[in-house]
Amino acid sequence: MPNHQNNLADKVAVWLPLLLAGVLALGLYIGLQLNTPTGGQVLQNDEQGGLYLNDTKGRVDEMIHFIEAKYVEDKDQEALVRKALRAIIGELDPHSNYIPVEDLQAINDQLDGDFDGIGVEFMVLDDTIVVVSPLSGGPSEAVGIRAGDKIIRIEDSIVAGVNLSSQDIFSLLRGKKGTEVEVGIKRAGQQDLLSFTITRDKIPMHSVDIATMLNDKTGYIKINRFSATTYDEFVMALEKLVEEHKMEDIVVDLRHNPGGYLKETTRMLSQLFPQQGKLLVYTEGRTVKRTEYKSNGRPFYPIGEVIVLIDEGSASASEIFAGAVQDHDRGVIIGRRSFGKGLVQEQYPLRDGSALRLTVARYYTPSGRCIQKAYGHGENYSGDLEERYHNGELSEEDKMAIPDSTRFYTDNGYIVYGGGGIMPDIFIPLDTAVLQEEYLIWRQYTSGFVFRYAEQHKDPFKNYDLDRFVRTYTISNNLYQSYLDYAREQGLEEDFPQNPETIRELKRFLKARLARQYFNDEGFFKVWNQKDAMVLKALEVLREDDPIAAARKE
């Protein structure tokens, strides 16, 4: 027995160091694989003393390395890497994006913070800055910048076709509150560039613009985006309208809303569906399993009829919202065909602090339709809205295109279509009067005039409450002339407007801006909604015994 134990001890003494050495070697190898910047591709020496990657998946890294080591001239390696990344991502889809570290905070601010700037959300398509949406209440919205506008010039610099980074664009457009920037805009239907002078301001990032009553029983909530606070803002709006004003029916305005967080959207939708487990939207991708988002069955307030307003600037989460309402026959969709963004992005942090925003799935409405419009080679993705204008789709219902003829069905058997946006139940044409060049030129001076007027007239409406102002106040000829004179003082050399439609719309906008100045945002929307064709149609439909049936007979 003692001899056996001695033999075992001798064997352990011999093999234990070898075993430990093997484990150490294995650990070093695994650690090297996990810590290499190329994700498991190790740089090795070849017979000539050069460096190469040990597999073919690191060819971009290998090429950059050879350029850095051997190229005849010095090159900025970081710039080369960024161009390579953008070229790769450019082959994917319009919404995947590489975000450099210096741009990341500014981009996240669009959903989560306040900043000084001109107040637009934009995307760069085909080397051109395209306005996705002017932020409500911001300086760009005030001068008349619209969704779909293309920014061609900033001050004296041409910015179209020069491949500017997001940071370059931010540095040109953002600046200290009170400073001015001049931009040249190419707009659908306009032959010449439109010039706008925008005074930078603190950009409000509240996602609910207004919650007000349209009549004794109908509430109106305008949502400009789906940010991290939208659900809370929406619930507070419902609380105000229901508990203070006894709201029964609701109009949700998603026009020019570019989208945002999916979770906020589905939480809001749960407030419209009393049933638990109602499918609201689902996502699915090549490597992403189907994920369903359903109603929680816990609405805080009973809501009767629902109307959703959309237009060509309503995208992504706005389309999810409208699609769920339409597919479940929960309400009526009024407006024009929406943007057509049905792709889901996830953001992945990279080691240097930059990020990759990558499309990982498509989203589908409850009936199974994906509303993403075509974006492959040969498709004019960035110019789609301009094409809609030129082919008459925005002004004539019978020219409203159905990009995909595949039929889907709502809960009640109503036919709906996917592949290119949400088709409204009731079409409302674009008001071409507000697109006239004469109107656009003069309108941009309204904000400055109203501010000057407020400085000189501290309380001109002290005998008015908001309802009386909306009902009875009219823009006098003297006030209108003062406005025209102010524009001339600012350097405008155009002839005074002669078109009756232009004069009408300028006076309407002037009254709305005065209402905002003296009665806050509620004042603006109270005035504007008086003659808003979509709002008026919503109220007309809500007077029907069965609004959905009435809408789909038209």
Active site residues: 316, 341, 345
Please list, in sequence order, all residues whose beta carbon lies within 8 angstroms of the beta carbon of residue 456, skipping any fewer than 6 positions away. Answer: none
User: Dihedral sign, CA of 316, 321, 322, 325?
Assistant: positive
Q: Which residues of 172-183 are buried (b: 16+ CB within 10 A; e: fewer)?
A: bbbeeeeeebeb
Give the H/E segment covering residue 99: strand 97-99
- Cα–Cα distance, 133 to 203 (Å, whole number): 13
Cβ atoms of 393 and 442 closer than 8 Å: no
Rg of the Cα trace of the chain? 29
Which residues make Cβ contacts (< 8 Å) with residue 263, sequence separation at least 6? none
Enter the tokens of residue 502.
């232009």
> 181 and 155 in contact (C-beta within 8 Å)?
yes
**Dihedral angle computed from the Cα positions of residues 116, 121, 124 and 129, in that order, rounded to the nearest 10 degrees:** -70
Q: What length does the chain have? A: 554
Query: What is the CA 190 to chain-centroid distance, rounded?
Result: 24
Distance in angstroms (rounded) separating the CA atoms of residues 341 and 95: 9
**Distances 29 to 21, 25, 71, 503 between C-alpha atoms, Å:** 12, 6, 32, 77
Give the C-alpha separation, 410 to 403, whole Å: 19
Residue type, 351: R
* Residue burial 310-329, b: 16+ Cβ < 10 Å; e: rest: bbbbbbbbbbbbbbbbbbbe
Tell me the three-class secondary structure of 214-231, residue by residue.
CCCCEEEEEECCECCCHH
- DSSP, residue by residue, 392-438: TTTT-GGG---S---EEE-TT--EEE-SSSPPPSEE----GGGG-HH
Alpha-carbon distances of 504 from 269, 466, 510, rounded to whole Å:
38, 21, 10
Q: Which residue matches tokens 């960035």? A: 382
Contacts of 228 (CB under 8 A, 6+ apart): 111, 112, 261, 264
